[in-house]
Chains A and B, each alone.
Chain A
Amino acid sequence: MLADVPMVFILIGITAYTVLSGADFGAGLWTLVPGGGQAGAAATRDHTRHAIGPVWEANHVWLIFVLTVAWTCYPVAFGSIASTLAVPLLIAAIGIIFRGTAYALRGQFAHGEERGVRLVENLFALSSVLTPFALATVIGGIATGRVPVGNARGDLITSWLNPVSVLAGVLAVAFSGYLAAVYLAADARRLAERSLVHDFRIRALSSGVVAGLLALAGLLVIRAEAASLWHGLSSGLGLALVILSALAGVVTMVLVWRGRFGPARASAALAVAAVIAGWAAAQEPRVLPGLTVSQAAADRSTLIATIVGIAVGGVVLVPSLAVLYTLVLRGRLDTGEVSGEAAAAELEGGAPAAARGRRRRRGPTGVARRAGVAARAGVAARAGRAGVAGVAGAFAGACLVAGTGLLVFADPAWAHGLGAVALLACAVTVFALAAGPTGELSLVRAQPARCSHRAAPDRHGVTAFRWVSGMMAGR
């Protein structure tokens, strides 16, 4: 019983990753084929990019969550899976690097830098195909019992390049495109972008049909190829969940058809959750051939520690996620990121118009006034802190002596802990003293005249550095 609890967490994690990150990956697919709709290709790309902006990283963490719970609570199964299915996992990992790179670079190109934009979009799209495909082939390999217990004892290739795995991979790609289209249609509705709503509604419907057909084909392939998995899916709880998933899929299509994208998000997520639960039900209690969940599980103490850890973490996580998604779904984070146009304007030297307007409303903006405010603040701060600084300096010195003494000359662990705290206090105090306003301090230029003997080597240094940096910049 206890042994099953972390497995439930793993399944929840896989579902969340598929529903949330899957949609982020799917958004990449739609940047690959942005044309053909009412909205322009550029508008489509901007829309997909902005929709996943604030949430991508949080969504990605579900994958890490799944991995860590798996290797802590079912270490033998994890080691066997990771070694036999090394190739698809490596492919997924590389796709994830591409994704992160594309994410970091996106929105940093000015208009007119078409080559750079194209490169990043292609990287983004490539990752959107590679990662869901590879991860789903891993699931396929596990579900069809191609991962024996042990270090790389399964086939390095056929464990993931087999009919069921490949179909699972293709289905995952189609499904992420479908989820993304539904979510993006909903986002477009919120932003009142009518042509984007139109486009993504059609995309959702068409990719929904494709995903549905692939799912049906998948069942046929499973029936032909994986008898025990088929048995689990065609009877009992497994069958019920498959039917639930199919129903949720149909309901989603109807909702999308009628333009009710909000509920469609929920039912699409339900369809995914039911598939994953169905897979688990069909395979239960087997994790790998000859290894049940309870055999695979770690010791009781580890399981309890992990469950406690997850429970405590969940207390922090759930409200945090609620805040994030509430802000995102209410559009509170929509314009925080500079849009393509705003970035271009900023690069060309002008502040975004909106920001300029807001600042004007706030009051003192003139250069002279601002400088005056800053100078006055600096003077006041210096006068007020003169006495405080002496005390703080003495405190920092005392902390330094105490910390050094405790760390270097004392032996008990508690003394070391106290010493580390004292050093930290010293660091914070000195930082507070020294990191204040630098005010009028900047007279580097005066130096070469005063110490002329230093100027010559410096010039060499400058030349060398310029040369190196020029090389690096490709000049």
Chain B
Amino acid sequence: MLLSVAGAPVDQRYLFEARQMQALSLAVHIPLVCFGIAFPALVLFAEWRYLRTGDPLYRTLARRWSKIMLALFAVGVVTGTILSFELGLLWPVWMQDFGNVFGLGFTLEGFSFFVEAIFIGIYVYGWDRLRPRLHFLSGMPIALAGITGSLFVLSVNAWMNHPTGFTLRDGRAVDTHPWSALFANPFFWSEYVHMYFAAYIVCGFLMAGAYAWAILRGRRGRYERTALGISLTAAAVAAPLQVVVGDWAARDVAQSQPVKLAAMEGLATTTRGAAEHLLGWYNGHAVVYGIEIPRLLSLLAFHNPNATVQGLDIVPLAAQPPVNVVRFAFQAMVGIGTLLALLGLVYLYIRLRRGRLPRARWFYWAVVLAGPASVVALIAGWITTEVGRQPWIVYDVMRVDAAVTGAHFIPFGYGALWLVYLGLAGAVFWLLRRFSRVPLEGDHAG
């Protein structure tokens, strides 16, 4: 009796705003996560170079980067906290009906977060106080925890996309198997590896963009070149490989979430030998004004040019995601990702074959642009998977409108969050500028 009362549906007029509020918070947090995953490894690489070569430039580099890492971590901590609050504030019914299945992922993530927070304090505050080797070792847990933390969080997202490990009774999960639900999920690994590579692409290109800008402005010292070399190499290596990983992820979507794939491609009806469309617009029945490549979709999704691809019509209109949003986001991600991969290949070719940095100005302009572009691709990718899951919060099990809170605070909360995040963005921008203007200790600049 108790639980049926708990499950009674509510009338929430501001469902759209609630979704926007969640999306805003995610869009702010996810780029910071990229730094949490990739940045510690780059900082540690620089410090390792210092330990190997004794070249103080690497120490300066690692030390300056570690300060940025700490500041971005602090911002990531609070924006991540907002997300965990919002899970309950916005989607309490989802939490109460399914928290017992996926909550474990967050509990484990909490420990990663602990380790990260503990050792980032030791690492950044310990530069002058710990012996060099010990200091380097104190950074290792940060890098590891960055990897495991994102792994645990993504296991929850993968579960939302491919829910298993429970039995549904009266709309609630019972007979739960949290371990297998989270980690034996076939959907999980492609999503995680995809995000992991994305983290290096975003972190690497954003940092490289800052140094490319410095190089264009004439600051071409050894410090800038070395910093650019490390960060750009990380991004340039990850970007082409991401094409392969993305293909893997897309085929997992094709198998587990045919409706999402149909939305990504604008495929209205189930089709044998389906064509792929570049650009264009989905008018409710088909993609118009696009470039059609016959049979390519079937080939990509199922490795068979004559394979049957399920269309949006396998579910009623009310169970279909907004096609154009998903499709544009997907195409933006793929398009930008392809350009980034090409840029990475150009860099690696010159770097490895000619043994030097590129000399053309356009290349550095492209790197400057690649930073923000990689963030756009990242967010577009998340829009693809999250909006593509609509109207489900738990795919095929619970609808978003059944999960939303009945409390009437959403417009207020959404507005307040915008104000706070605008202030936060201004603060971070100011902070990074300030970091970049701290002069080098003279002798490393040459």
Contact check, A97 vs B78: say whether CB atoms are below 8 A apart. Answer: yes
> Chain A residue with minimal CB distance to B85?
A93
Whether B193 and A420, one on each chain, are in contact in the complex, defined by CB atoms closer than 8 angstroms, is: yes
* B98-131 interface code vs A (CB 8 A; 1 in, 0 out): 1111011011111101110111111011111110
A317 touches B114 (CB 8 A): yes
B281 contacts partner chain A, Cβ-Cβ < 8 Å: no
Which residue of the partner chain, among A69, A78, A323, contacts B122 with CB atoms under 8 Å?
A: A323
Q: Are B117 and A57 within 8 A (Cβ)?
A: yes
Cβ < 8 Å to A, chain B residues 68-100: 71-75, 77-82, 84-89, 92-100
Establish whether residues A320 and B405, one from each chain, have CB atoms under 8 Å apart when the complex forms: no
Q: Which of B88, B121, B220, B413 contacts A81 (CB 8 A)?
A: B88
How far is it, in angstroms, between the C-alpha of A447 and the C-alpha of B126 when the chains are bound? 43
Q: Is A191 an interface residue (CB 8 A)?
A: no
Q: Are A337 and B125 in contact (CB under 8 A)?
A: yes
Residues on B with beta carbons closer than 8 Å to the beta carbon of A57: 73-74, 77, 117, 120-121
B245 to chain A, nearest CB (A): 7
Instruction: Tally B residues with Cβ within 8 Å of A.
Output: 137
**CB-defined contacts of B82 to chain A, threshold 8 Å:** 93, 96-97
Chain B nearest CB, measured from A354 CB (Å):
8
Compute how far the CA of A97 lies from the CA of B244 in the bound complex, rounded to whole angstroms. Answer: 38
Chain B proximity of A289: nearest CB distance (Å)? 11
Q: Are B114 and A65 in contact (CB under 8 A)?
A: yes
Inter-chain contacts of B104 with A (CB < 8 A): 72, 302, 305-306, 309
- Whether, in the assembled complex, A12 has its beta carbon less than 8 Å from a beta carbon of chain B, the answer is no
- Is B248's CB under 8 angstroms from A298's CB? no
Q: Would you call B409 an interface residue if the criterion is a C-beta within 8 Å of the partner chain's C-beta atoms?
A: yes
Which residues from B are CB-within-8-Å of A309? 104, 107-108, 111
Q: What interface size band does chain A fall in? A: 35 or more
Bound form: Cα–Cα A420–B222 in Å: 35
CB of A104 within 8 A of CB of B75, answer: yes
Is A72's CB under 8 angstroms from B45's CB?
Answer: no
Produce 1/0 per residue, A295-308, CB < 8 A to B. 10011011001100
- Shortest Cβ distance from A332 into B: residue: B129
In the assembled complex, the CB of A385 is this many whole angstroms from the nearest CB of chain B, namely 12
In whole angstroms, how far apart are the Cα atoms of A461 and B85 in the complex?
A: 43
State in angstroms the CA–CA spacing of A373 and B56 once bound together. 10
In the bound complex, residues from chain B placing their C-beta under 8 Å from that of A381 are: 53
Q: Scan B227-250; emit 1 where CB is below 8 A from any A CB, else 0.
A: 011100110111001001101100
> Contact check: which of A78, A105, A290, A403 meets B427 at CB < 8 Å?
A105
User: Is A5 close to B, CB under 8 A?
Assistant: no
A interface: dominant SS = helix
Query: CB within 8 A of B103: which of A65, A72, A323?
Result: A72
Asked if B178 and A305 sit within 8 Å, CB to CB, the answer is yes
A417 to B189, CA, bound (A): 8
Question: In the docked arrangement, what's the CA distance between A231 and B428, Å?
Answer: 50
Distance (Å) between the CB of A298 and the closest chain B CB? Answer: 4
A371 on the interface (CB 8 Å rule)? yes
A220, CB-defined interface residue at 8 Å: no
Q: Is B406 an interface residue (CB 8 A)?
A: yes
CB distance from B211 to the nearest CB of A (A): 11
Interchain CB contact under 8 A, B81 and A408: no
Provide the bound-state CA to CA distance between A430 and B437, in Å: 32
CB distance from B214 to the nearest CB of A (A): 11
Chain B residues near A321 (CB, 8 Å)? 114, 118
Do A299 and B175 have beta carbons less than 8 Å apart? yes
Contact A96 B78 (CB under 8 A): yes
B234 to chain A, nearest CB (A): 6
Q: Which of B78, B92, B129 contacts A80 (CB 8 A)?
A: B92
Does B225 contact A442, Cβ atoms closer than 8 Å? Answer: yes
A149 contacts the other chain (CB 8 A): yes
B100/A299 in contact, CB under 8 A: yes
Question: What residues of chain B lie closer than 8 Å to A156, measured between beta carbons?
Answer: 407-409
CA of A276 to CA of B397 in the docked complex: distance in angstroms? 38
* Closest 5 pairs (CB-CB, A-B): A72-B103, A82-B88, A79-B96, A100-B78, A75-B99
Q: A82-B88, A86-B407, A320-B141 are in contact. List 20 more A-B contacts (CB 8 A).
A: A57-B121, A58-B117, A60-B81, A79-B95, A83-B88, A97-B420, A104-B75, A104-B428, A151-B92, A151-B96, A152-B10, A153-B406, A305-B178, A317-B114, A324-B122, A327-B126, A335-B129, A354-B128, A427-B197, A427-B237
Question: What are 20 A-B interface contacts by the 8 Å CB criterion?
Answer: A64-B81, A68-B107, A69-B107, A76-B96, A79-B88, A82-B85, A90-B413, A149-B5, A156-B408, A298-B100, A306-B104, A347-B438, A371-B446, A374-B222, A407-B244, A409-B303, A434-B229, A438-B228, A438-B357, A443-B356
